[in-house]
Amino acid sequence: MKTNTLLTIQNPILKGFNPDPCIVRAEEDFYIITSTFEWYPGIPVYHSRDLVNWRHLTNVLTHHIHFEGNPDSASVWAPALSYRDGLFYLVYTDVKRSKYPFKDAHNYVVTAEDITGPWSEPVFLNSGNFDPSLFHDEDGRKWFLNVHWDYRIEGRNKSAGIVMQEYSVDAKKLIGPIHHIFDGTDLRKTEAPHIYKHNGWYYLVTAEGGTGSTHAVTVARAKDITGPYEVDPLNPMMTSAHDESLPLQKAGHASLVETQTGEWFIAHLCSRPVHGKYSILGRETALQRVHWTDDGWLRLASGGREAQVEVQAPNLPAHPFEPDENQHDDFDEEALHPVWNTLRIAPDDSWCSLLEKPGYLSIKGGESLHSLHHQHLIARRQQHVCCEVETAVEFEPDSFLQMAGLVLYYNTDNYVYTFISHDEEKGKCLSVMKCVWGEFEKLDICLPLAGEQTKIKASIQSDQVFLFYADDTGEWKEVSDSISIAHLSDEGNGFTGNFVGMCVQDMRGTAIAADFDYFLYKELNG
């Protein structure tokens, strides 16, 4: 048997926007799922056999979603995966409105015998709360947990602890009384509940402090599943709130797994803010080794409460995967590579195609970058602080309402867009628009374009982007001075991190198409 020569887990294990991880083991396989919010497909499944090497294996929500009109940073929140008796259970929240004071949020469960599906149709469970999880007790009963949201509480934080109700597999619904099992601690904003049973104790692992810089992991335990739960006397179990210089910030929202070799780890979200300020990559996923103390509390194996970048790997055989980052996509396949994502709607022949013009990705013009319905945008996560993205587009607009190009996109209020359009005096030209925390600006740039194909390149250097283009001359030229992308971050915006990709708009409604020849994503030394 080949031993694991990779002695350390390098965090984050899932780079770029991959928040709210839930980890589970099924025999010798480990799976992590993460939140996707308004991005399609919903809920990626990452797979590993050694906790060191991970691959994107599949996605859960691929056809049974209805996210059109959902606001930014809504839709799929904090899914939770579990496995019992040969069946995978996944619970998730579809958030329709997240602003205060109410939560228009609906919780569902889906199941599958194989992690790659097919997954069952969603079964509705309850509304008004979020961050669900499902615990399978030794006696066969199943318990559904979620945040208790009480709009009557003063202030913006209306989290009132954790509630639990039994789930009937036969009836496919929640049954019996609702138990309020945990009020939370002084850290407040109690969320992301998971229950684990170990040595006769029920352990409740929650996130507290909010998902920003004060995020933390809180652990409590009880002899009875309904409580009362006593809080870890050294709480929080993990946090980075006390030291803004730590490389992994916002540490929290954890879930627990035991390897087949009896070693314990937690998966948790974290952030690597640029200049210590801007989480442009969003919230990512990391792993920490943990252990149980003699008095029955969970502790980081590294000591203290600070998440580590390098973590000792488990005593498992090394299991690397073939690289599948797809850094250069020539659009030669018949289906989109799994690296690509769309907003709220699935990519289908009604608006995008790899077959209409072989070797190209053809995208028909949709609504504006501010639309919550039919944005025709195909993008991938930004996974490195310094990277370069490039594409080549063929597009012949005849109106200023028609646009196609390269976009850096956080949400409808925050983006930088380098696009081809039509100017009444200059004809086909290259321009730049941006939206910064809701303030729109079209830059005073209108560069005439010659030839059929235009290349556009964005070089992202920390919190700045440098834009370039090349027309039929083949020579790269600067589009503008560097542009700040500090606004393409979680701070003050939401939960999703920055995406880079291609999009087309036709606000005249004629669905003019643009053809993209390739897309290149390349990490840069920064």
What are the catalytic residues? 20, 191
CA 69 to chain centre: 19
Sheet with 104-112, strands from edge to edge, namely: 75-84, 87-97, 104-112, 123-127
Rounded to an integer, what distance in angstroms lies between the CA atom of residue 486 and that of residue 275?
Answer: 10
Q: Where are the alpha helices (DSSP H) in 61-150?
A: none
Show the beta-strand stretches assigned E in 150-243. Answer: 159-168, 173-182, 191-198, 201-208, 216-222, 230-231, 238-239
Q: Tell me the two tokens of residue 483.
A: 């542009």
Cβ atoms of 208 and 189 closer than 8 Å: yes
Cβ atoms of 235 and 3 closer than 8 Å: no
Rounded to an integer, what distance in angstroms lies between the CA atom of residue 384 and that of residue 274?
Answer: 11
Q: Where are the alpha helices (DSSP H) in 221-266?
A: none
Helix (H) or strand (E) holding 361: strand 361-364
Q: Tell me the two tokens of residue 79.
A: 């899914």
- Up-side HSE of residue 65: CA atoms within 13 Å toward CB? 32
Around Cβ 473, how many Cβ atoms within 10 Å? Answer: 9
CA 339 to chain centre: 13
Looking at residue 228, the DSSP 8-state letter turns out to be P
SS3 content of the chain, % helix, strand, coil (to 5): 0, 50, 50
